Amino acid sequence: MTLDKLFRPKSIAILGASSHKGKVGYELVYNLVDKGFEGKIYPINPKGGEVLGLKIYKSLDEVDEPIDLALVALPSSMIIDTIKKLGEKGVGAAVVYAAGFSEIGNVELEEKLYRLIKDYGIRVIGPNCAGIIYYGHRLYGAFVPGLRDGDLALLSQSGAMTAVITEYLYSKSLGLHLLVSYGNKIDVSDEEIISYFKDDRSILAYMLYVEGFKAGEGRRFYEVVKSIDKPIVMLKGGRGSVGARAAKSHTGVLAGSYQVYQAAMKQMGVYLVDEFYELVDVAEGLAYLPIPNGDKVAVVTNSGGPGVVLTDKLEDRGIPLEVTPKNIKGKLSFLPDFMGRENPIDLTANGNEDLYYHVLKILLKEDWPDIVIALHVPPSFVDPIAISKAIRDAYIDSKSDKPLIPLVFGDKRWDAYKVFWGEPRLPTPYSHTSTSKVVDALLLRRIKSLRR
């Protein structure tokens, strides 16, 4: 059974539609209209009326046409009856936003819902969820303000984690092509979605916030994901025993042992991170950078301290910086003596845009290294925008197929990062740690690609 009715519906009913701005049932209709959904929209509410020029139907029965997807903006007490009606009508998929199921101990209600959707064959996202967005079909059925179309996908078991993540996406001018914020995840699973979209070339990388898998789901996830080519980054909630207890009362799933997760995820090439911003930084890196040809990393820096800290973080992940090979040192002999040609290559505070450009071009063209990090902390007398442009120019002019990661700090940091948000896009990580994880995740991707 495909997920077409969920993600590519020809018609959508909004149950609990409202003509009052600010109400959930209004916002759902508004978003579909605003984003240009091209199928039919049927707002439904016993009170009738009109919303945004569309007739509000008093009941599902009034709609003569078939309905593919229902967005159910009704309280938990009305869900069972509503699903029955959807089933009788032959609706193929539904998003249930309401809370009040297993996450508050109401397991019975959730099981009743589960049996019902299985009987009728309705595919469901939720309950207790923020909804779905798929820009590929102009389908905007979620409560997430300010989300733009982009190259990433987010599957999240928590609406609030979705908000935490989208805040950071926004600040980096990144968007989501696909969002599934599925809450209690009663039916449609991560691996079904990943499998369904495996040929969608608009999705470059996945971010997953997962609290747990239901019985049997872990195995299927493993089978699907290990054969999938798209990068997947995961933040796991409910790692420890207390966190797991909290997760159970959050989305009603059992969290499982984190050690088992770590081993299994590595095996299937899923990269695990520890923080919301790392989820975004690493997904951005994997989306926009090529798979490296080897595991040698070089750092070019204008600042000793931040270079030392980055070296530490790489070493923490088992990626020691190799000393600069002799032939490369030879090519760098034009550097003045007080600049360090040893890896990390330290251009010192005198590292201007010309030096960045020439050193990076050599590293990007020569046979060493495989991955380049260009770290820059502008002293007050240096223009960080000019340096960023030099880093970007070196990348373009060298026509390199090596991953290049800029890491910029300082008071004009975000202006400098904007230079990398064009075409081609280069990743713009927040911290030393997340930069080292981008490298680590690239190396994991390389291992996965070598296995195939």
Among residue numbers 207 through 246, which ones bind its own copies (CB under 8 A)?
A: 209, 211, 235, 237-243, 245-246
Nearest to 441 by CA among 237, 260, 322, 284: 284
Nearest to 389 by CA among 363, 415, 350: 415
Q: Should residue 158 be labelled a site residue for its own copies when binding is judged by CB under 8 A?
A: yes
Q: C-beta of 160: minimal distance to its own copies in Å?
A: 3
Q: Should residue 325 be labelled a site residue for its own copies when binding is judged by CB under 8 A?
A: no
Q: Should residue 167 be labelled a site residue for its own copies when binding is judged by CB under 8 A?
A: yes
Q: C-beta of 210: minimal distance to its own copies in Å?
A: 10
Closest to its own copies by CB, 309 or 332: 309
Contacts with its own copies in 258-317 (CB under 8 A)? 274-277, 302-309, 311-316
3-state helix, strand, coil in the chain (%, to 5): 45, 15, 40
- Interface residue with its own copies among 204, 321, 439, 443 (CB under 8 A) is 321
Closest to its own copies by CB, 271 or 276: 276
- Interface residue with its own copies among 433, 442, 444, 448 (CB under 8 A) is 433
Contacts with its own copies in 379-418 (CB under 8 A)? 379-381, 409-411, 413
Q: Is 101 helix (H, G, I), strand (E, B) or coil?
A: coil
What are the start-end ranges of the E strands in 211-365? Answer: 232-236, 270-273, 297-301, 345-346
Contacts with its own copies in 347-386 (CB under 8 A)? 348-349, 377-381
Q: C-beta of 26: minimal distance to its own copies in Å?
A: 12
Closest to its own copies by CB, 56 or 235: 235
Closest to its own copies by CB, 97 or 221: 97
Q: C-beta of 38: minimal distance to its own copies in Å?
A: 25
> Rounded to the nearest 5 degrees, what angle is found at the Cα of 435, between the Cα atoms of 224 and 207?
30
Closest to its own copies by CB, 91 or 244: 244
309, containing H or E segment:
helix 304-316
Closest to its own copies by CB, 14 or 60: 14
Q: How far apart are CA 134 and CA 75, in angstroms?
A: 24
Contacts with its own copies in 10-69 (CB under 8 A)? 22, 24, 27
Closest to its own copies by CB, 259 or 380: 380
CA torsion sign for 142, 143, 145, 151 is negative
Task: Assess contact for 49 and 81: CB atoms under 8 A.
Answer: no
Nearest to 403 by CA among 246, 297, 329, 247: 297
Place of tokens 């959807």: 86
Task: Assess contact for 182 and 157: CB atoms under 8 A.
Answer: yes
Q: How far apart are CA 293 and CA 444, in angstroms?
A: 12
- Interface residue with its own copies among 216, 338, 399, 451 (CB under 8 A) is 338
Amino acid at 19: S
